[in-house]
Structure 1
């Protein structure tokens, strides 16, 4: 296999290549095959062999090498806290290669799940996947190789892909030779959803994805990319610094796919009982948290599918950019990637908004339609822009429900606004023509929440019937793909589209449990698990 550039000998240091981050983007040549659905990809043995070979070769490289599997995963996220279970990935890399400790950490933990604006999510992950794919292609030895995309939308594709779920390639569990272990396997995944091998349980896996977890209807239906707030528009916005806000595509299906694949790993961590004795406790799998998700080989084919959904949206009639950020935002260079030769790349955000300009193709895209083009940004306009700080919209608390609430997974949980909250809302002095209302939910214990989702509805009174995502009361879904270390509290904001709801006599917030997985064969929804632990609910006013 040919590996190009400075790292052909098997692993150089990032320090030797990144002093001047001046390499430009090299688009894919026209000979590179279009990305195809995973279910078609695996039918061609040579393509699947190329994928396995590329992953295996990247995993062989020194972790301090930018072309290695570890380094590429760490660009997305890496856990550096020794008290967290996810630290084991960094610890293993450090034990193998002391040079890992010398890497400039500006290259790591760059994904927009660590406090950046939601509008960064789609372009950053397109950039990451594009550059990762070029590096992987170099390691496959196939110059035409492209990643497939995990096309989990059709009901025939709801079962976890077997190519990623078998451990022993020859089917013999007793053959643990290195060449017989599937490089696409990951033990830190949900057992009943992703495992295909077990000596005592036949017909594994037992679960598959539900309709709710793959739902992308709201993302495809919206007409705008950038929302007026960060939780509207397919791509989000730049209105606040709250890492709990999401654009529509990041919220569904992206987040919940991460959570169900990672799942809960029984007894995977060590805790302490009330007497201080060590005990086994459950832990989240790799895909379920941003600092560890990139280490799972299913991660790239999940994100090629997210890129495919965005690409479909971009050529649909009637789509527009919405509340466009200022020109300087597009010209900023906050991200660092590497090309297939190990050269550092630091290009503007705007470089990643057109997949075709990158030479990325999808097998079933409509080539007769052009992706939504970005406007041109004259240099004078860019210079005149005032920068990031001025983009943040002021937000203030108006009223709060401080009661601790547990929303169970067996039935809906409704909280009616108490009189003191209503009094605070009615006495608040602000101009509603200049403000929009948000609902903030503070949650704890997300590190233990099972693979059950929760939809959030705001109604004028306690609801008596079924609540659906198509109802005007639907605000969004609780975001499960967050870094919740131990029992950290996280908060999530939802835009109240109809602010008159809070003026009613007894407005109510309802949490609707949503099965993200179901039994294979029977379709029985999997709603088992611990409740959602809510510490407070607040109404906020944000500048328009």
Structure 2
């Protein structure tokens, strides 16, 4: 980033971490004067509502009001940390704001009094601080394939944003979440009507509407497209062994990031437009649906945290969270630095969710762990990664030598299967999300097709120098068809873009199907 030479590095200020609370009431009071008193022990917790509930609809009314004000540059100039685009740039800097010329315009002090100029320089320092640990812009945790602090950073980001909204509208405000897993509302799994409805004759007058969305989803009427099961399903994440197991790509943090988090981003974003909107990390934060989507991701994390696995393994990474700091803006637009472990403490943050269902996760994953699962098919014999580009590709899998014996043994015959894509990466953001289909030849002219899911490349696996991302799909429906193949039989895994050809090659290191009793 281009920095103003007048900006000098400054010491971290307003640092808050869990250890301050342990010091007693004096430290709590001091911290509360910075962050606000709400959320400490014995304070009532706000309940974040679902968007379709009466409380949720009321919060959307306040949200729309806040967005309109935050976008109004006469009230909140671009340099103000409470402005809409400044907040979006905390997630990642939008391409139009990356150049030195653009940043100089945002943080210009021309014609300002010394006092006004000092405020602008302070805001620039907050946005573009000389050290990565001192800046707020472009700090979302999508910078590698692990994305270790993905859920923690976004929780704290939403929390500060929520406080800014409450301050701007001057009323109690709780960020509502969009539970896209539900189908029992009049609009089903379509975008909530508040985000696409016509106001005063035009969608453009609706401050929750955003131009750069998939047009089929963004229609104002009942013909708007619905999200599908393959977009919203979070079940794979809840089968994880822990938050960060030895293979972190198979942990809850990473799997939730993939699905439904990244999938919703990819499905809502526009394909072929001048701005990809939700489909790309640097542009996603400008869409008002971003915050409602991430509120649901935060809720899913909280559900995980209350499972036995989630509660048990949290202590294993608590210290790393305590030693990691993030920079945000508070309700007054002032710098605040917060430790990642604050994300563990909803009592401190001062909110809760009214709907945290008990998750009874499928035991499919535990039956497919190494040592118990049988690799029944893979593309390993090719020895080179597969490449998906243009209209897609078909990857040939060969049935392994042990598959026939496994199917023939009544006592151990597989009943569940999972398709695994490993080492998935791309050099840039592909233009679409991808549909994955297993195609098995039969004695008939037409092969059997099993569409097992979709995947996206949103975030850290773009240009990653690591082993890339992993994507897991339930392949159980294809088991009986695979069983009928010869010992050396072959079949295809087809990977195609959902909406249009892609120009960015996607590399897939390994494709396999594991099966277990």
TM-score > 0.5 by shorter chain: yes
Q: 1:290 to 1:210 in 2, by over 3 A?
A: same
Measured after TM superposition, the shift of residue 330 of structure 1 is: 2.0
Q: 1:59 aligns with which of 65, 71, 74?
A: 71
Measured after TM superposition, the shift of residue 483 of structure 1 is: 8.0
Question: Using the alignment, how far apart are the partners of 1:456 and 1:21 within structure 2?
Answer: 52
505-514 or 255-264, which deviates more? 505-514
Corresponding residue for residue 62 of structure 2 = 50
Measured after TM superposition, the shift of residue 405 of structure 1 is: 4.6
1:415 partnered with 2:389: no
1:164 partnered with 2:162: no
SS at match of 1:413: strand
Q: 1:91 to 1:190 in 2, by over 3 A?
A: farther
Q: 1:194 aligns with which of 209, 218, 221?
A: 218
| 1:262-411 aligned within 5 A | 262-266=269-273, 268=274, 284-322=275-313, 328-365=319-356, 400-401=383-384, 404-406=387-389, 408=391
Q: 2:91 aligns with which of 76, 79, 101?
A: 76
Number of corresponding residues:
403
SS at match of 1:494: strand
Q: 1:493 aligns with which of 455, 469, 482?
A: 469
Q: 1:147 to 1:64 in 2, by over 3 A?
A: same
SS at match of 1:21: coil
Corresponding residue for residue 116 of structure 2 = none
Q: 1:440 to 1:137 in 2, by over 3 A?
A: same
Corresponding residue for residue 519 of structure 1 = none
Runs (5+) with no aligned partner, structure 2? 1-5, 17-34, 109-119, 130-134, 359-379, 400-419, 441-446, 474-486, 512-517
Asked if the contact 2:147–2:460 (Cα under 8 Å) also holds between the matched residues in 1, the reply is no
Corresponding residue for residue 440 of structure 1 = 423
Measured after TM superposition, the shift of residue 149 of structure 1 is: 0.5
Q: 1:186 to 1:441 in 2, by over 3 A?
A: same
Measured against aligned partners, the alpha-carbon deviations of 1:158-213 in whole angstroms (never above 9, x if no partner) come to: 111121113x523x249x8xxxx2221211111121132xxxxxx46531111110
Q: 1:325 to 1:509 in 2, by over 3 A?
A: farther
Calculate the TM-score normalised by the size of structure 1.
0.62
Q: 1:33 to 1:438 in 2, by over 3 A?
A: closer
Question: Using the alignment, how far apart are the partners of 1:116 and 1:26 within structure 2?
Answer: 35
Question: Using the alignment, how far apart are the partners of 2:244 and 2:461 within structure 1?
Answer: 27
Question: Using the alignment, how far apart are the partners of 1:212 and 1:320 within structure 2?
Answer: 28
Query: Which structure shows the higher helix fraction?
Result: 2
Calculate the TM-score normalised by the size of structure 2.
0.65
| 1:134-153 aligned within 5 A | 134-142=163-171, 144-153=172-181
Measured after TM superposition, the shift of residue 534 of structure 1 is: 4.6
Runs (5+) with no aligned partner, structure 1? 1-13, 81-85, 197-202, 236-246, 269-283, 368-396, 419-436, 470-475, 498-503, 515-526
Corresponding residue for residue 249 of structure 1 = 256
Corresponding residue for residue 206 of structure 1 = 224
SS at match of 2:396: strand
Q: 1:93 to 1:54 in 2, by over 3 A?
A: farther
Q: 1:323 to 1:414 in 2, by over 3 A?
A: farther
